[in-house]
C-alpha cells in the first residue's frame, strides 16, 4: 500500500492479515497498491508488478478508488496456479464491495479469494519407507 494512505491502523492490519493468509495457502507473494494510478492503469500496474522483488511468483492488486480502477497482475509462475477466470471472479467480488463504499472489505475478501484459488495442493508424506511386499510372479 502506498505511504500516506487514509487507512486506519486496524484497516491496514486486516489487509496485511489477508495478504499473509493468501501467501501461506498459495505459496505466492501478494502485494497491494491503493492510490492514484496513471492514465493507463494497466500499464501502471504492470510496472509496479515488475518492480517487486520476485515478480514471477507475485500477484499485485492495484486499486485506484478515485478513478474506479482495479487491476490484478500475476507473474509467470503465479499464472500457472491462478487463472484469468479466477482473477476476474475475485475482481468482481472486490468491485461489488467497492461500489458499496467498502474498500478494505473488498480488498481483504478479494485477496483471500485469490489465495484460495491458488492454494497449493496438499501432499501426502510418508515418514518411513514402504515395505517391499515380495516378488510378484
Domains of the chain with bracketed CATH = 9-117 (3.10.310.50)
Q: What is the mean pLDDT of residues 101-118?
A: 96
pLDDT at residue number 62? 97
For the cut 80, the answer to whether the pLDDT of residue 5 exceeds it is no
How far is 87 from 74, CA to CA, in rounded Å? 9
How are beta strands 58-64 and 29-34 bridged, if at all? Answer: parallel
For the cut 80, the answer to whether the pLDDT of residue 3 exceeds it is no
Query: Smallest Cα–Cα separation from 69: which of 33, 102, 19, 100?
Result: 33
- pLDDT band, very low/low/confident/very high, at 118 (cuts 50, 70, 90): very high
The three three-digit cell numbers of residue 45, written as one number: 500496474
How far is 50 from 58, CA to CA, in rounded Å? 9
Q: What is the pLDDT of residues 8-55, one digit of tens each?
A: 999 999 999 999 999 999 999 999 999 999 889 999 999 999 999 999
How far is 68 from 90, CA to CA, in rounded Å? 16
Question: With a threshold of 0.85, does the pTM exceed it?
Answer: no
Amino acid at each position: 500500500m502506498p505511504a500516506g494512505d487514509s487507512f486506519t491502523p486496524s484497516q491496514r492490519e486486516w489487509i496485511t492479515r489477508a495478504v499473509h493468509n493468501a501467501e501461506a495457502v498459495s505459496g505466492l507473494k501478494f502485494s497491494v497498491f491503493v492510490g492514484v494510478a496513471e492514465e493507463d492503469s494497466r500499464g501502471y500496474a504492470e510496472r509496479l508488478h515488475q518492480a517487486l522483488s520476485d515478480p514471477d511468483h507475485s500477484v499485485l492488486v492495484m486499486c485506484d478508488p478515485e478513478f474506479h480502477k482495479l487491476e490484478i497482475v500475476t507473474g509467470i509462475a503465479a499464472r500457472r496456479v491462478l487463472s484469468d477466470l479466477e482473477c476476474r471472479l475475485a475482481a468482481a467480488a472486490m468491485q461489488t464491495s467497492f461500489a458499496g463504499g467498502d474498500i478494505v472489505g473488498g480488498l481483504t475478501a478479494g485477496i483471500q479469494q485469490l489465495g484460495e484459488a491458488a492454494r497449493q495442493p496438499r501432499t501426502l508424506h510418508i515418514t518411513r519407507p514402504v515395505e517391499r511386499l515380495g516378488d510378484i510372479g
